[in-house]
Amino acid sequence: MTLDNHKFAVLGRPRTIWAIGAIHGDVDHLIPVHDHIASSFDPGDRLVYLGNFIGHGPRILETVSEILSFRRHILSIPGMLASDVVYLRGAQEEMWQKLLQLQFAPNPREVLGWMLAQGVDATLQAYGGDPQEGLVSARDGAVQLTRWTNRLRDAIRRAESHNHLFSALRRAAFSEPAADPQGGAGAVLCVSAGLEPDRPLATQGDSFWWAGGGFARIDGPYEGYTRIVRGLDPDGGGLQTNRITVTLDAGAGRGGQIAAGRFAPGGEILDLITA
pLDDT tens string 59-69: 999 999 999 99
Pairing of strands 46-49, 85-88: parallel
Question: Where does the pLDDT of residue 212 fall: very low under 50, low under 70, confident under 90, or very high at 90 and above?
Answer: low
Could you give the CA distance from residue 207 to residue 171 in angstroms, rounded to a whole number? 10
Q: Is the pLDDT of residue 251 over 90?
A: yes
- CB of 53 closer than 8 Å to CB of 90: yes
Q: Is the pLDDT of residue 25 over 60?
A: yes
DSSP state for residue 187 in the 8-state scheme = -
At 179 the pLDDT is 56
Q: Where are the domains of the chain?
A: 8-90+169-274, 93-162
Q: Is the pLDDT of residue 70 over 80?
A: yes
DSSP state for residue 260 in the 8-state scheme = E
At 181 the pLDDT is 44
The separation between the first and the last C-alpha atoms of the chain, rounded to the nearest angstrom, is: 39
Question: Where does the pLDDT of residue 245 fall: very low under 50, low under 70, confident under 90, or very high at 90 and above?
Answer: very high
Distances in Å between the Cα of 139 and the Cα atoms of 50, 77, 109, 110, 143 are: 35, 51, 6, 10, 11
At 145 the pLDDT is 97
Could you give the CA distance from residue 58 to residue 119 in angstroms, rounded to a whole number? 11
At 20 the pLDDT is 98
- CB of 20 closer than 8 Å to CB of 260: yes
Could you give the CA distance from residue 149 to residue 1 in angstroms, rounded to a whole number? 36
Q: Is the pLDDT of residue 1 over 70?
A: no
At 2 the pLDDT is 60
CATH 3.60.21.10 fits 8-90+169-274, yes or no: yes
Q: Cβ atoms within 10 A of the Cβ of 100, count?
A: 15
Residue 234, burial from CB neighbour count under 10 angstroms (0-12, 13-18, 19+): middle
Could you give the CA distance from residue 87 to residue 10 in angstroms, rounded to a whole number? 12
Nearest to 196 by CA among 231, 228, 160: 228
Torsion of the alpha carbons at 150, 207, 107 and 144, rounded to the nearest 10: 0
pLDDT tens string 99-134: 999 999 999 999 999 999 999 999 999 999 999 999
pLDDT tens string 161-205: 999 999 999 999 999 886 554 445 689 999 999 999 999 999 999
104 Cβ contact partners less than 8 Å away, ≥ 6 residues apart: none
At 144 the pLDDT is 96
Least reliable range by pLDDT among 80-94, 182-196, 231-245: 182-196
Q: Is the pLDDT of residue 265 over 60?
A: yes
Distances in Å between the Cα of 25 and the Cα atoms of 19, 104, 224, 234 are: 17, 27, 34, 17
Could you give the CA distance from residue 88 to residue 48 in angstroms, rounded to a whole number? 7
At 185 the pLDDT is 63
201 Cβ contact partners less than 8 Å away, ≥ 6 residues apart: 3, 8, 172, 174, 189, 223
What's the average model confidence in pLDDT over 213-242? 92
Higher pLDDT, 160 or 169: 169
